[in-house]
Amino acid sequence: MKEEVSSHSDLVACMKDISVVYGDFAALYEVNLDVNKGDFIGICGPNGSGKTTLLKTMVRLVQPIAGRMMLYDQEITDTIPAYIRFRIGYVPQITNIDRNFPALVKDVVEMGRYAKAGLARRITRVDKQKAMEALQLVDMEQSADRPIGHLSGGQQQRVLIAQALAAEAEVLLLDEFTSALDFRMTEDIMELLFHLNHTHKITIITVGHNIEILRAYCNRIVCINKVIAFDGSPKDQKLDEAINKIFN
Ligand SMILES: Nc1ncnc2c1ncn2[C@@H]1O[C@H](COP(=O)(O)OP(=O)(O)O)[C@@H](O)[C@H]1O
Ligand SMILES: [Mg+2]
């Protein structure tokens, strides 16, 4: 087995002493996190521990009050330059899409192409092709012409992943999609993520509430409780200690 050696050029994101507050409430405190190309990171922590905030900070949906952050070789001060932004696909927590929401699956995925090209440009044949390829990657091409509201939670999640892939994202940030899904569907999505990570070299950071599933699939676990309580291998014994500590 050949181990990949990570060098500085393999860094996708680097957070240094990042703190985030909402009003006068600190949601993240002096968080340090390096994300390497090829990582498959599972983030866990109790409710309200800052998991969503961490993902949102990476794509600057929230602004830290302190600390520094690099994405690729670019220091991010305010907004993320477009050429970097589309490389990072953020898949938010799914709250049931209205059954009557009129958009078709293929429309939703094509929106990923707008994210890359900008709204001013029309969708071309190449865009439609790329959207279809992304749907194939998540095994949803047969549902391209169905309204997204008619799909199950797990299928909707796949479509949102396809949307990010259509934008040619190299990194996927996924918020707690599993909470709405049963165990089987959760495993199916984790299998898909594992495949994208392994075969397509997509870097993955996923928040999950089922620690055993995260341990089974991820090469790295990050436990968070406002501060980083653990960052390491799923096999590390200190992980159990950290989990006991932050969940009790
Ligand atoms: N927009 C907001 N305004 C005020 N407080 C917020 C906001 N978003 C999150 N919080 C608070 O910050 C903390 C962390 O939230 P969050 O990152 O969503 O945690 P998690 O995803 O781990 O459940 C929680 O206590 C939450 O109530
Ligand atoms: Mg959350």
Choose one of 19, 22, 24, 58 to mutate for the ligand 1 pocket test, by most ligand atoms within 8 angstroms of C-beta: 22
> Do residues 183 and 214 touch, judged by C-beta distance below 8 A?
no
Out of 139, 169, 199, pick the residue that ends a domain: 169
Q: Which atom of ligand 1 is nearest to the CA of 54?
A: 17
Look up residue 162 and give its DSSP letter: H
Residue 67, phi-psi category: left (phi > 0), alpha (psi -120 to 50), beta (remainder): left
Residues 201 and 189 in one domain: yes
Q: Could you give the CA distance from residue 207 to residue 185 in angstroms, rounded to a whole number? A: 15
Out of 149, 169, 189, pick the residue that ends a domain: 169
pLDDT classification of 6: cutoffs 50, 70, 90: very low
**β-strand partners of 203:** 171
Please report, rounded to a whole number, the percentage of residues in the chain having pLDDT higher than 90: 74
Q: How many CB atoms lie within 10 A of CB 47?
A: 7
Residues 48 and 1 in one domain: yes
Residues 177 and 236 in one domain: yes
Residues 129 and 248 in one domain: no
More confident residue, 182 or 176: 176
| pTM listed for this prediction | 0.92
- Encoding tokens for residue 24? 């006068």
pLDDT classification of 9: cutoffs 50, 70, 90: confident
Distance from Cα 53 to the centre of ligand 1, integer Å: 7
Map residue 221 onto helix, strand or coil: strand
Tell me what pLDDT residue 1 has.
Answer: 40
Residues 65 and 104 in one domain: no
Residues 188 and 79 in one domain: yes
Q: Which atom of ligand 1 is nearest to the CA of 175?
A: 21
Residues 206 and 235 in one domain: yes
Task: Check whether 85 has a pLDDT greater than 70.
Answer: yes
Give the pairing type, strands 74-75 and 66-71: antiparallel
Give Cα 190 to chain centroid, integer Å. 12
| Total structural domains within the chain | 2
Tell me what pLDDT residue 101 has.
Answer: 80
Choose one of 25, 175, 225 to mutate for the ligand 1 pocket test, by most ligand atoms within 8 angstroms of C-beta: 25
Out of 109, 140, 169, pick the residue that ends a domain: 169
User: Over the chain, what is the mean pLDDT?
Assistant: 90
What is the residue range of 189's domain? 1-84+171-248
Q: Over range 29-33, report the average pLDDT.
A: 98
Tell me what pLDDT residue 114 has.
Answer: 81
- E strand intervals along 23-168: 25-36, 40-44, 66-71, 74-75, 88-91
